[in-house]
Structure 1
Amino acid sequence: MKLLSINGLRTVVAGAALALMAACTSAPVANYPDVTWRHLTPIIFAAGPIEKVAAWSNTEDGSIASDLPFSLGNMAMNWPDDRIQTAGTSDMLRYSVTEASVISSALKTTKGIKGVFTDDQSDKIELKVAAKLELLDANGVQKGEVQAMAARSRTLSESMSVSEREQAIYDATAALLMDLDRELERQINANLGRFILH
């Protein structure tokens, strides 16, 4: 058996390390695009500029919002960019995202030998988003307001990979934001209809 020299050994180790790095970096990275509402008909307000306010926090117990590769709150903040148009008057709109929570809680799973052969639902994910749209006059006095909230939940099985879990939460997030859009539009038509240009 031929022994490798020190230099030969270094070459083999370096080659193995490079191969390992290449394998790690070539793994597909999931891309989660922002949810958009550009395909929907815009709501045109007789108003001027739109101010956006990020008024949510991710400090609740069990929050996993900051661990995800996408942001429910940031995507919710994009809503007026896609859905609202203004036909400049001295009035203004203020849009605030007041809640954008993604909470994870552990579920009971089967223990012991039986648990090895059982694919339990191991986590419950609860998502909630809330937003407020205000119409203000030139002096900042409120002329009208709507508030909307949407909530969804889903469970994740213990056999799911990290990427499968992220995809499942993203799908629930996208559905949740569409729920928010429908509720905002319903509230606007019911309560701010007099300020809309048809």
Structure 2
Amino acid sequence: MMGLSLRGVSLAVAGGMALLVAACTTAPVQTFPDVTWRHLSPIEFSAGPIEKVAAYGVPAANDLQPDLPFNLGRMAMKWPDDRLETAGTSDILRYSVTDASITTEDLKTTGGISGMFTDDQSQKVDLKVGAKLELLTQDGTQKAEVSAVVERSRTLSESMSVAEREKAIYDETAALLMDLDRELDKQIHQNMGRYVLN
């Protein structure tokens, strides 16, 4: 019985050491804040409730979002929370995110001995987001609509760490969402102005 007890203790110690080594060697997961537009003045519509629709579908096979600690589509869905207000009528505002992708493409890099001394751009990242805003009557008749699609691209060098790559893609994502806001704001005031109160 004593032999079994000592064996059990040995196994427990070995397991604990393995967990400790794993904890020491695992890189901490980065966290990134959601992009917001709370610093901007809201656009007030002569309308009632706001509906939100995620219409961007399943990510493509080369979409990076499942492996990133943030999500473009989810952040884009929050745009009306910060930027739209309604008052006055029973008309409905329906906001749909129609596209949200962060795809990647490997680039050709220098091979052989020269490649060991060259820091090439090894990956191209393409970001795209699209959204649509509709003003509808209670029975679903469309009174007005605007839409916007914006895109950005950037390359990543092969010497970048995982953390550096994630930060670079996040920065580009934040810039893309600000592009979307500017385009939607412009379209709203140009094409839905008679329904805007401010």
Superposition TM-score, scaled by structure 1 size: 0.90
Find the counterpart in structure 2 of residue 192 from structure 1. Answer: 192
Q: Displacement, 1:90?
A: 1.2
Find the counterpart in structure 1 of residue 40 from structure 2. Answer: 40
> Which residue identity is paired with 2:18?
A
- Listed as ranges, the gaps of 5+ residues in structure 1 are none
Relative to structure 1, is the Cα distance of residues 84 and 8 closer, same or farther in structure 2, using a 3 angstrom cutoff? Answer: closer
Q: In the alignment, is the contact (CA less than 8 A) between 1:48 and 1:89 conserved in 2? A: yes
Find the counterpart in structure 2 of residue 17 from structure 1. Answer: 18
Q: Displacement, 1:60?
A: 3.0
- Listed as ranges, the gaps of 5+ residues in structure 2 are 1-5
Q: Displacement, 1:106?
A: 0.6
Relative to structure 1, is the Cα distance of residues 8 and 89 closer, same or farther in structure 2, using a 3 angstrom cutoff? Answer: closer
In 2, Cα distance between equivalents of 1:11 and 1:131: 54
The range that moved more, 55-64 or 164-173, is: 55-64
Deviation per CA, 1:122-165, whole angstroms, max 9, x where unpaired?
00000000000000012110000000111100000111111111
Relative to structure 1, is the Cα distance of residues 121 and 90 closer, same or farther in structure 2, using a 3 angstrom cutoff? Answer: same
In 2, Cα distance between equivalents of 1:130 and 1:114: 42
Aligned-residue sequence identity (percent) comes to: 63
Find the counterpart in structure 1 of residue 60 from structure 2. Answer: 60
Aligned length: 193
In 1, Cα distance between equivalents of 2:92 and 2:170: 33
Q: In the alignment, is the contact (CA less than 8 A) between 1:58 and 1:65 conserved in 2? A: no
Find the counterpart in structure 1 of residue 31 from structure 2. Answer: 31
The range that moved more, 54-63 or 10-19, is: 10-19
SS at match of 1:131: strand
In 1, Cα distance between equivalents of 2:195 and 2:102: 34
Find the counterpart in structure 2 of residue 169 from structure 1. Answer: 169
Q: Displacement, 1:15?
A: 6.0
Deviation per CA, 1:81-129, whole angstroms, max 9, x where unpaired?
0000000411010000000011100101000111111110000000000
CA RMSD of aligned residues (A): 2.0
In 2, Cα distance between equivalents of 1:23 and 1:109: 33
In 2, Cα distance between equivalents of 1:12 and 1:139: 68
Q: Displacement, 1:33?
A: 0.9
Find the counterpart in structure 1 of residue 134 from structure 2. Answer: 134
